[in-house]
Amino acid sequence: MSVADFTRSIEAAADQPTALRSRITDVLTRIADASRAAGRRPEDVTLVAVSKTVDRRAVDAALALGIRHFGENRVQDASRKLGDPLPAGACLHLIGQLQSNKAKPAAALFDIIESVDRPSVIDALEKAAERNGQPLPVLLQVNVAREPQKAGCDPDQAASLMARLAQSPSLTPQGLMTMAPLVADPEDARPIFAGLRTIQHKLQRQFPAADLHTLSMGMTNDFHIAIEEGATSVRIGRAIFGP
Ligand SMILES: *Cc1c(COP(=O)(O)O)cnc(C)c1O
């Protein structure tokens, strides 16, 4: 390693926590501003730091700065990368598409599965959670924009899948998740977020025994719009951990 490389790596290491601290502060400020502007309380919006592109050291640095919720999109990558379990009080969210054959490790590793979108996954998760002897919180992912190739159930299937979740002995449905289409102007994502909230209200009326309080929607580009439309959980990667 050249002296120049060494100096650069020291500087990068010394800079890392400061950069992370200022990015987290910035995101929390923007969450609070968007909440207040919408007449909502900032504490009613949970920040899920999406750590899929970073290693355990960055997760630990974020934990040290007070972040408690982390999102990962692949079961095996997360398990390998994170190694030791996260400390008590931390909560790991699966936000990427789940294959039925990964349901068992997913149920063991994650505290909540946000990407439930079809009967085969529900069946597999239900069995895995039953074996664990612990109810598993889940969100139903809805493809509100009906984008082909995109994960999430069709809005027309949401009620039948929720009926299945609501009577599950081992899964606890807590609400809905969606991913808005990639658009240049985040304003264009607003109807998608409003659409998920409409589906939530309908399902809550239809399944009064379930507590469908969570609306997981909004990412780096569009979380302020999602909060205005009722997001209770925002999943943010790049604005926290860098591009
Ligand atoms: C990567 C990812 C995010 C975070 O996206 P950013 O644009 O980095 O904030 C949120 N949700 C899901 C499902 C993701 O895969």
d(C-alpha 165, C-alpha 160), whole Å: 9
Ligand 1 centre distance from Cα of residue 209 (Å) = 31
Mutational pocket test of ligand 1: of 95, 116, 233, the residue with most ligand atoms within 8 Å of the beta carbon: 95
Check residue 233 and give its pLDDT. 98
Top CATH class of 3-241 equals: alpha beta
Ligand 1 centre distance from Cα of residue 217 (Å) = 10
Alpha-helix runs per DSSP H in the chain: 3-37, 56-64, 75-82, 103-109, 119-132, 158-166, 190-206, 223-228, 238-241
Domain boundaries, the chain: 3-241
Residue 123: how many other CB atoms lie within 10 Å: 14
Check residue 243 and give its pLDDT. 87
Check residue 8 and give its pLDDT. 59
Residue nearest to atom 10 of ligand 1 (CA): 235
Ligand 1 centre distance from Cα of residue 18 (Å) = 23
Check residue 16 and give its pLDDT. 57
| Residuewise pLDDT in 10s, the chain (243 residues) | 455 555 555 455 555 578 999 999 999 999 999 999 999 999 999 999 999 999 999 999 999 999 999 999 999 999 999 999 999 999 999 999 999 999 999 999 999 999 999 999 999 999 999 999 999 999 999 999 999 999 999 999 999 999 999 999 999 999 999 999 999 999 999 999 999 999 999 999 999 999 999 999 999 999 999 999 999 999 999 999 998
Check residue 7 and give its pLDDT. 52
| Number of the ligand 1 atom closest to the C-alpha atom of 73 | 15
Check residue 1 and give its pLDDT. 42
φ, ψ for residue 239, nearest 5 deg: -65, -15
Query: Ligand 1 pocket by C-beta < 6 Å: which residues?
Result: 50, 52, 73, 95-96, 179, 219-221, 235-239
Q: Which of 126, 219, 118 is nearest to 172 (CA)?
A: 126
Whether pTM > 0.75 for this model: the answer is yes
Ligand 1 centre distance from Cα of residue 128 (Å) = 26
Residue nearest to atom 8 of ligand 1 (CA): 237
CB-CB contact of 87 with 63 (8 Å): yes
Q: Which amino acid is at 71?
A: G
Q: Which amino acid is at 151?
A: A
Where does residue 147 fall: left (phi above 0), alpha (psi -120 to 50 degrees), or beta otherwise? beta
Ligand 1 centre distance from Cα of residue 51 (Å) = 9
